[in-house]
């Protein structure tokens, strides 16, 4: 297991849609283990494969580990099946845009479906921070970063802060 380097915006890989996972291999299992090591070392609560240069539809998250035991969720080929109309806004940070926190509006609740490393399909209703984290990581798989979720004015301010 290893801590991988995290790509920083504006690396073009962070703006690229990722490919579906077609097979669970030993290489994929190693990538996921390394992603977990990287996320915990950062210390973050989520990490998507393109953030470490792997252009696959994979993300890991563990929203509660900083205040409780580790309970990672490994999501291969995730899909958001439903999003609530109720929105919540809050500060979001990103390991690929270090030092910048931006106010982002997200669905308060989602229904997420994904496959695990054993090839089993799972589905869960996520709310609050779990839903926000999953939406953030899911965005990465479609080449969307926090800056893309901001108004033009807020984006200009956040980019200026990041590039300063």
Q: Which residues are catalytic?
A: 137
Residue 29 CA to residue 35 CA, distance in Å, equals: 10
* Residue that has been written with the tokens 């962070």 in this structure: 14
Residue 160 and residue 147 in contact, taking contact as beta carbons nearer than 8 Å: no
Residue 134 CA to residue 141 CA, distance in Å, equals: 11
Give, in order, the Cα–Cα distances in Å from 148 to each of 39, 86, 113, 154.
22, 20, 24, 10
């Amino acid at each position: 297991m290893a801590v991988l380097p995290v790509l920083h915006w504006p690396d073009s890989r962070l703006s690229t849609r990722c490919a579906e996972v077609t097979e669970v291999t030993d290489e994929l299992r190693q990538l996921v283990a390394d992603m977990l090591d990287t996320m915990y070392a950062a210390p973050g609560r989520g990490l998507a494969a393109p953030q470490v240069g792997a252009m696959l539809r994979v993300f890991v998250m563990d929203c509660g580990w900083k205040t409780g035991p580790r309970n990672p969720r490994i999501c291969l080929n995730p899909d958001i099946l439903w999003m609530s109309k109720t929105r919540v806004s809050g500060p979001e940070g990103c390991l690929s845009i270090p030092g910048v926190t931006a106010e982002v509006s997200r669905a308060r609740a989602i229904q997420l479906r994904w496959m695990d490393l054993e090839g089993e399909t799972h589905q869960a209703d996520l709310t609050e921070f779990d839903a926000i984290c999953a939406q953030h990581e899911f965005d990465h798989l479609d080449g969307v970063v926090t800056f893309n979720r901001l108004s033009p004015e807020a984006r200009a301010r956040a980019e200026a802060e990041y590039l300063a």
